[in-house]
Structure 1
């Protein structure tokens, strides 16, 4: 399929994992891709691997200047912008939620929620021209109680933001949707293979996800195959939201605080 032929996508956090898989999938389906990331060398390698229809740029989603420059570079290089994939984010609060500082919470929101908003604001003038769309990578943490409270709040905020943008800009032909992954085998887990194996047993489909699972969902929502879908969240999560294993997953690991008995 060449669902993205003649179209241009900008993918944030595209140096590895989900972002790199999304960039490759869109390119494989005929699209041009601007791949951005803080890791300049790695994002350059991804773009080089894809070839002439790719541009790799260093971009920090917490910097409006960086975001504006990347969107402008995409339009200048390829003449248009059709799809924005908001993938940047991550869990950056390492303490239990009761001990998290306001500064930690603000940094989490700035990276994951406000960062996505910055990208949308910069891309919108171009997306209105092309009747394009935005796909934001949220998380099942934004839909159910899996711990990581500050991260979950930011991810839930992405979902609420998407619904409101969809309602506001639907009349201009711009679509906004969300993919909510479960546990995905990315480089973030490279030093925790045992944890991934344990998580896999909690998923009804018996495995954790791969970056390509998410890329396939993004390619669907970002293409004309989803031309009448907007304001929705598509969970891609191996069945974890059906219930089995949910409680065990949400109460495990370093995010559970023990209190002394009274």
Structure 2
């Protein structure tokens, strides 16, 4: 249990965001759910009782707007004790297809917005010796397409390490969860276009399966909990073994049916 800690979760209306909210509420936290879509937040909050899910809507990459959106909740319910910076999306698939505007959009939402999230919550995090979990991506660990998104997610790892070494003396911890393919609505849209996409991707995953939002939420909950009190600056892939090595290449090199 977390003694009713107030946890800020961004990108709350998405598939992973909803999984995060359910996990942190189940663990005893009150959740401050943030998204740009106010109507989606209202519907989300209505699913939970007893004020366990509070809401704030704003543009996440606008620090002043974000602070203004969070301020009334913090004034009424106390400081933010944990942050799960989850908001993100990917635009262009390749470098050749990436226009300057699309590059900037991915950097703003996937990196700069995470910086704004931490800055907006920093006073509370310092006061509570709080925790920060960034939802990164395996794209931040190796080249898998979506280059602007990938560059931003790689930047999150460096940012988390900077927080860990600079604010560790204050008791703050910062870690990164790096999902691989996750079964969300966004991926279902791809499956609708190509019903074989999941089957085609399975050969790259040693476990032969893909993460669910609940898998990502469990990892984030652990890193934000007292059970991970000595873990900071860490990067945790939740990817079915994808980052352990190249299964397909290994089988071709060794001529063994991995």
Give yes or no for TM over 0.5: yes
Aligned to 1:234: 236
Offset of residue 57 of structure 1: 2.3
Say if 2:210 is the partner of 1:203: no
SS of the aligned residue for 2:96 comes to helix
Say if 2:184 is the partner of 1:186: yes
Offset of residue 206 of structure 1: 1.0
Q: Is the 8 A contact 1:202 1:246 kept in 2?
A: yes
Q: Is the 8 A contact 1:32 1:78 kept in 2?
A: no
Say if 2:79 is the partner of 1:80: yes
Aligned to 1:69: 68
TM-score by length of 2: 0.90
Match of 1:39 among 18, 37, 40: 37
Q: Give the distance between the partners of 2:189 and 2:109, measured in 1 at CA.
A: 24
Aligned to 2:120: 122
Offset of residue 87 of structure 1: 0.4
Match of 1:21 among 19, 22, 35: 19
Q: Give the distance between the partners of 1:178 and 1:100, measured in 2 at CA.
A: 26
Q: Is the 8 A contact 1:133 1:175 kept in 2?
A: yes
Offset of residue 189 of structure 1: 1.6
Q: Give the distance between the partners of 2:248 and 2:178, measured in 1 at CA.
A: 15
Aligned to 1:165: 163
Query: How many pairs were matched up?
Result: 244
Q: Give the distance between the partners of 1:91 and 1:235, measured in 2 at CA.
A: 19
Instruction: List gaps (5 residues or longer) in structure 2.
Output: 250-258
Give CA deviations for 1:184-203 in whole Å, capped at 9, x if unaligned.
01111222222233223321
Aligned to 1:252: none
Offset of residue 245 of structure 1: 5.2
Aligned to 2:109: 111
Q: Is the 8 A contact 2:6 2:80 kept in 1?
A: yes
TM-score by length of 1: 0.88
Offset of residue 149 of structure 1: 1.1
Aligned to 1:59: 58
Q: Give the distance between the partners of 2:9 and 2:72, measured in 1 at CA.
A: 13
Q: Give the distance between the partners of 2:42 and 2:76, measured in 1 at CA.
A: 16
Instruction: List gaps (5 residues or longer) in structure 1.
Output: 248-262
Offset of residue 74 of structure 1: 3.2
Q: RMSD over aligned Cα, in angstroms?
A: 1.5
